[in-house]
Amino acid sequence: MTKEARREQLLETALAIVREQGPDALTLGYLAERAGVSKPITYEHFETRSGLLVALYRQIDEQQVRALQESLAVKGRALDEVARVIARAYMTCHSNWGPEGHAIAGALMGDAQMGAVQRDLLDNCVGIFADALAPFSKLARKALRQRCVGIVGAAEALSLDMTRGRMPQAAAIENLAALLVSGIDPI
């Protein structure tokens, strides 16, 4: 198995552990046991438990970013359509991952490495939102980015309620779309 294929297998196994038993059960030793490899192999790929959790979190984010970018590739849409596209892609990704994405992020709270990763991923998401919404907003670029920081925070809260079963996906999409439209001071 190639190194890349092994890493993918380890991440899939790690996600299965988180889904079945929660993030507290995920250790490099247990991952090695479940994946049928030696402990040094898991350490070679991730170094630490935090490194493994960060890799899982990055994988979730990469899929979310890909879905957002693919959804936004169609040009010539009105603001309402763009807001719905963003909201649908965002919530669909979180729905597909279920509560595991939030559980992984929660398991890394207070970890310095994770704090830096979360800031980078947040900045990327904010940038995607701001780029997509800029043609529809009266706000200066800096002000729009600041608004998008708040909107992304609201999107996270909505997705958390959705993945916990407190809100249907359709309602999460509608609420996020409404926040996107009203929150950017539309033209």
Write down the domain spans for the chain.
1-47, 59-183
Q: Quick one: average pLDDT of 153-182?
A: 95
Q: Which residue has the higher pLDDT, 119 or 131?
A: 131
Contact 102, 61 (CB under 8 A): no
State how far the Cα of 26 lies from the Cα of 180, in Å rounded to an integer.
Answer: 36
* Predicted local distance difference test score (pLDDT) of residue 109: 72
Q: What is the mean pLDDT of the segment spanning 181-187? A: 94
What is the distance between the alpha carbons of residues 8 and 100, in angstroms, rounded to a whole number? 17
Q: What is the pTM of this model?
A: 0.79
Closest CA to 148 of 106, 176, 118: 176
Mean pLDDT (whole number) for 64-80: 86
Angle of helix 3-21 relative to helix 100-107, nearest 10 degrees? 100
CA 95, CA 130: separation in Å to the nearest integer? 23
Share of the chain above pLDDT 70, in %: 98
Amino acid identity for residue 164 in this structure: R
**pLDDT on residue 149:** 96
Domain 1-47 has CATH 1.10.10.60: yes
pLDDT top residue among 109 and 185: 185
- Asked if CATH classification 3.40.30.10 holds for the domain at 59-183, the reply, yes or no, is no
Confidence of residue 116 (pLDDT cuts 50, 70, 90): confident
Task: Compute the average pLDDT of residues 145-149.
Answer: 96
Q: For position 106, what pLDDT does the model report?
A: 73
Query: What pLDDT is stored for residue 77 in this prediction?
Result: 87
Average pLDDT score over residue span 148-157: 95
Mean pLDDT of the chain: 90
Question: Which residues are CB-neighbours of 177 under 8 A, at least 6 positions away?
Answer: 80, 83, 84, 86, 87
- Kindly give the interhelix angle for 49-72 and 79-97, rounded to the nearest 10 degrees: 150
